[in-house]
Amino acid sequence: MMVHPVDPDYLPMTGFLPRLKLSDVAAARAVIRSMGAEDPMAAVPEGVAVEIRQASARDGSEIEVVVFRPAHRPAQPPAVVAYFHGGGFVFGDARTDVRVPSALAADLDAVVVSVNYRLAPEFPFPTPFDDCFDALAWIAGDNDLGIDPTRIVVAGISAGAGLAAAVALRARDAGGPAVCFQALDSPVLDDRLRTVSATEYTDSLLWNRPNAADSWHHYLGTNADLSRTSEYAAPARARDLAGLPPAYITVSSFDPLRDEGIEYAQRLTDAGVPTELHLYPGTFHGSAGAFPQAAISQRVNADYTAAIRRALAPSNHAHR
């Protein structure tokens, strides 16, 4: 296997990374909890207010959402980012995964709504996807968020980015809610795992082929017919990508998901969707989140935020 050299800034820290094995969901969740033992709200920038709200799911359940809002009220209704956390569909939650969404609220002067979708394997597809789409409908609907419903971005990382891509597909097919941009960081898109990177990276840092395969197994369910996987579960299976909102896609060089992100960006471009793709050498899946203090991580995060800011700029939005 050809291994991409890890960025030098990461080398002193990689020995502290845990070994995740998604074959044992309970153990994987325990590892993630141990990594986030400190108070997550300590990461929220000063001047960002946090509120827990409830949105209605189609099955009658309540979907918890965490709303990050700049403390000052702008003169005009702000844009909104519907954010979906990562975690391989099986771990993570909006109450503890606060660093990125709260930073987006501060840096973009926007409302960010992070969705606490239900997790597999207890709730396999379509429940997590339905939760995300129902939360998007709640955001765009008649509520007191006070946002501009013409400036809605869907965003996420890893499994959350895959959910964001799926929600964008469903919104297009259903004729709304109107999504103006999709920001996909290291998206999980293809359950077939047939790309070069998905085949080669069997022991890569944090995320590898076995974890990717286990993640899909948990998400799709034990009795799933893999020959008929829904495009709303695996957006790479969508035959038609035309009419989707403009996209920004980030991929890492040392990541089994790298090539499916690249292929999705190429297919979006071929379908006439304005798409920006960034491949960061020396990075691995989740590295910017694991080591946000590293220079390469800061660049990844700054580029991601800047892409959303450009998409929300009045001059850019006026031509949509």
Please say if 317 is a catalytic residue. Answer: no
**How far is residue 271's CA from residue 267's CA, in Å, rounded to a whole number?**
6
Q: How many other C-beta atoms can be found within 10 angstroms of the C-beta atom of residue 257?
A: 27
Q: DSSP 3-state assignment of 56?
A: strand
Active-site option among 259, 285, 287, 297 = 285
**How far is residue 60's CA from residue 278's CA, in Å, rounded to a whole number?**
40
Please say if 218 is a catalytic residue. Answer: no
Q: In what order do the strands lie in the sheet with 247-254?
A: 48-56, 62-70, 111-116, 80-84, 152-157, 181-185, 247-254, 275-284
Q: Which two tokens stand for residue 271?
A: 């379908």
Which H or E element spans position 67?
strand 62-70
**How far is residue 111's CA from residue 180's CA, in Å, rounded to a whole number?**
15
Active-site option among 7, 255, 259, 297 = 255
Active-site option among 158, 253, 287, 297 = 158
Residue ranges of E strands in 85-232 = 111-116, 152-157, 181-185
How open is the CA angle 80-84-90, to the nearest 5 degrees? 165
C-alpha distances out from residue 284 to 55, 218, 253, 272, Å: 34, 23, 6, 29
Q: Do 123 and 41 form a contact (C-beta atoms < 8 A)?
A: no
Please say if 285 is a catalytic residue. Answer: yes
By annotation, the residues acting in catalysis are: 158, 255, 285
